[in-house]
Amino acid sequence: MAGSDWTCSLSAMHEWESPDYEPSLPVSEKSNPLTRDIDRASPNCIVRMLQACDAQMFQDGTGATYQRLLSEQVVETLTEVAKQVEHILKDPRDSLIVLSGCGTSGRLAFLVASAFNRALGELDRSSVYSYIIAGGDKALLSSQEAPEDDPKLGVLSLKKVCEGQKRVLFIGISCGLSAPFVAGQLDFCLQHPEVYTPVLVGFNPPHQARDERIPGCTFTFRSVARRMQELATRQRAFLINPAVGPEAVSGSSRMKGGSATKILLEVVLSAAHAATFADTPVTPKGLLQHMGAYEKTLEITYAQREGIGALLEAAGQSLRRGGRVCYLGWGPLGTLGLIDASECVPTFGAGCEDVRGYISGGYRELNNNEGPLGPDFCIAHEDFLRLVLPSLDDRDAVLLIYTHSGNNVGEVAELARTVREKTSNLHAVYHRVDGDTAAAEQQDDINKLCFSSLKFTWPSPASGISLHMQWELSTKLLLNAVSTGAHVLKGKIYQNHMVDLQVTNSKLYRRATRLLQKLSGGPESRCEEALLKAVYRVDELTADITSSDVSAHARAARSGTKAVPLALVCLLTGRSLREAGTHLEQHPIVREAVEACLS
Ligand code: F6P
C-alpha cells in the first residue's frame, strides 16, 4: 500500500519500458507502475505520484527502447516542422496551418491555435491557424466520443476548413495513434500531397498504432502511420511521436498526453514565430532551450506540492459530501479550467455539475469558431453568479485561477468577496513574475478572504519563451492533479484504472474489454460477452446483438450507465445482472464494490 512515505525508485520510473511489461499494449494504454496504489494514497502522496509520472515526459532517451521528448530524432523533426511553419508565416497567401484532434487533443488544438492567432493579431497579421475538434465546438466543453470513430467526418471537416487554400500544413493529434477521425484526415492529406503536408503528433511508436479495421475504409491508423513514416524520409510527411510513459490513470491521455501535446506544438510554433518575426533562426538548440523551460515549469509547479495536495483534498471532500467544485478563471487559464472540468464527466463518470469551469468574459473571451453554444453550456462568471451562487455553501469548493499580469486582480477580489459570503471553502491559485509588486494590496485582500492561496512566482523569462505558456502548462498540471486526485479520493479509481468508463466509442469498448480481462482473469470472449450483456441489459445475448458491430454497441452504451462495473461484478461473482446491480447499489463507491467481490 502507498503510505505517506511513498518514494519512487529508479526502476519503477523505467519499468514500463521493458519489452516484457504489458507487451500487448501500446505505451499510451499501459498502466503506470508508479501509480499502482494511487487509489489508497493520501492527498500529498497522490501529488507526488503525479509529479513522478509527469517527470517521465522529460526522461533521457539515450539507449532507451522508445524515442523520447528530448531525443535527437524528435528534436530534428520538430526543427523541420518549425521550418515548414516559418515558410507559411513568411508567405501566408492561400495557406493554412490546421491543428486537429478528438477530445483533449482537439481542445489543445483549439487552445494553441487561438494563442498563436492572437500573437499574429498583436503583430497586425491575419490569422493562419485553424482548429478542428471531432464533434464541433460542443466537444470543447463536453465529451462527444462517437464522432471520434468517423474518418469521413474528419475528412469533411478538413475540406470545409481548407476550402480554397493552396497550401496546408495539417497537424493531426492522436495521443494513442488511434482515432479514426484523425486517421481519415491524414489519409486524405496523403492522397493530396500537392496541397497538404501531414504531421502526426502522438505518443506511441508507429508499430503500436491502432490496427483495428475502420468500417468503410481500406486503411487503419497503423497503415497510415507507416505510409507517413516512409514519406518522412523525404520530408513529405512528419511524425512527432516520442513516448512519454503510461498515464497516471491508465489511458487517461488528457493528462501527460495533453501536456506533451501542448509542449510540442508550442515549441514548434514559438520557434517558427521567432524565426519569422524576431530573426532568430530555427535550430535544434533553440528548441531544446524551449523544452528546458517547460521542464522547469514542472519543477516550479510541483515545488508547491503540499499546497496542491491541500487543494486536492478540499476538492475531494467536496465531491465526497455531494458538493461541487467550481473553477473561476481569467483568460487562457479560465479556458483550461473549462477544459479540465468538462473532462471529468467522461473520465470519471462525474455529473455535469460536480466540477464546472467558468471564464471571465464568457464566449467573448473563449473566442471559439461557433460562438455561444446555448443554455446547456453556460460558461461566464455571470452564469456562475446567476445559476450557482444562490445555492452555494461550505460543501462546495471554489478555486479562483488568475495571473497578476492581466490587470484583473481587482475583479478577482470583488468576486472573492461575493463568493465568501456563501462559502469559506474558497481558494486562490495565481501566477506572478518575481519582483512584481503591482496589485500586492488587492492580493492581500484576496488572501484574507481565501481558505488557501497558492502563489506561483516565476523568474523573468529568457527571450523567446512565453511566460504565459508556462503558466498555462502549470495550471493544466495543477487542475489535472486536483480533479484526478479528488475523484481518486471519492473512490472512482480501482488501483490505477477507471473502472466506470463509458464505452461510447470503439477505443473505449476495447479498453473496457481489456480491463475486464485484467481484473477478472477471464478470457477475452467471456469478458466481451459480459460487457455486451451489461450494455444491452440482458442476461442472454440475442443473435441481433452478437451480429452487430462495435459502433452499434457504442451507440447502445450511450443510454446506460455502469456497464463496466456491472460486467465486472457478474464476472467475479457469477451473479445475474440484477444481483450485480443490487451489489453496486449497496456499494456505490466502485473501488469498494470491486474489493467486496474480491474479498
Ligand atoms: O474517447 C475519448 C478519448 O479517450 C478522450 O479522453 C481523449 O482525449 C480522446 O479520446 C482522444 O484520444 P487520442 O488523442 O488518443 O486520439
CA distance 68 to 48: 22
Q: Whose CA is nearest to atom 16 of ligand 1?
A: 174
Which residues are within 8 A (CB) of 559 and not within 5 positions of it... i.e. 6 or more apart? none
575 CA from centroid of ligand 1 (Å):
33
Alpha-carbon distances of 336 from 299, 363, 375, 476, rounded to whole Å: 20, 14, 20, 6
Cα 567 from Cα 529, distance rounded (Å): 9
Q: Is 311 left (phi over 0), alpha (psi -120 to 50) or beta?
A: alpha
Say what the pLDDT of residue 463 is: 55
Ligand 1 pocket, 179 CB below 6 A? Answer: yes
Ligand 1 neighbourhood includes 337 CB (under 6 angstroms): no
**Calpha distance 498→31 (Å, rounded):** 11
**With a 6 A CB cut-off, is 61 part of the ligand 1 pocket?**
no
Taking the centre of ligand 1 as the mean of its atom positions, its distance from the CA of residue 176, in whole angstroms, is: 8
pLDDT at residue 7, rounded to an integer: 78
For the Cβ of 511 lying below 6 angstroms from any atom of ligand 1, the answer is no
Taking Cα atoms as reference points, which of 421, 411, 407 lies closest to residue 360? 411
Q: For residue 367, what are the contacts with CB-CB under 8 A and spacing of at least 6?
A: 114
For residues 341 and 106, is the Cβ–Cβ distance under 8 A? no
Question: Beta strand 355-359 with 167-173: parallel, antiparallel or unpaired?
Answer: unpaired
Q: Which residues 6+ apart lie within 8 Å of 360 measured at CB?
A: 328, 329, 330, 331, 334, 380, 381, 408, 411
Does residue 101 contact residue 174 with C-beta atoms inside 8 Å? yes
Ligand 1 nearest atom to the CA of residue 254, by list position:
8
| Ligand 1 midpoint to CA 246 (Å) | 14
Say how many Å lie between the CA of residue 446 and the centre of ligand 1.
37
Taking each continuous run of H as one helix and of E as one strand, the counts in the chain are: 24, 12
Q: What length does the chain have?
A: 599
Q: What pLDDT is recorded for position 464?
A: 56
Which of 110, 148, 503 has the most ligand 1 atoms within 8 A of CB, as the residue to mutate? 148
Q: Check if the beta carbon of residue 131 is closer than 8 Å to that of residue 108.
A: no
Cell numbers found for residue 154: 474528419
Measured in angstroms, how far is the CA atom of residue 261 from the centroid of ligand 1? 12
Atom of ligand 1 lying closest to residue 105 CA: 14
With a 6 Å cutoff on the Cβ, whether 508 touches ligand 1 is yes
Low-confidence ranges of the chain (pLDDT < 70): 1-5, 462-465
Q: Reduce the DSSP state of residue 239 to 3 states and report it.
A: strand
- The per-residue pLDDT for 1 is 46
Single-letter code of the amino acid located at 139: A
pLDDT reported for residue 227:
98
Residue nearest to atom 3 of ligand 1 (CA): 103
Measuring from atom 5 of ligand 1, which residue has the nearest CA?
Answer: 103
User: Which of 105, 254, 510 is the pocket-test mutation for ligand 1 (most atoms within 8 Å of CB)?
Assistant: 105
- Atom in ligand 1 nearest the alpha carbon of residue 148: 1
The per-residue pLDDT for 465 is 65
Q: Give the β-pairing of 493-494 and 497-498.
A: antiparallel
User: Could you identify the atom of ligand 1 that is nearest to the CA of residue 145?
Assistant: 1
Strands 129-133 and 167-173: unpaired
Distance (Å, rounded) from C-alpha 190 to C-alpha 69? 25
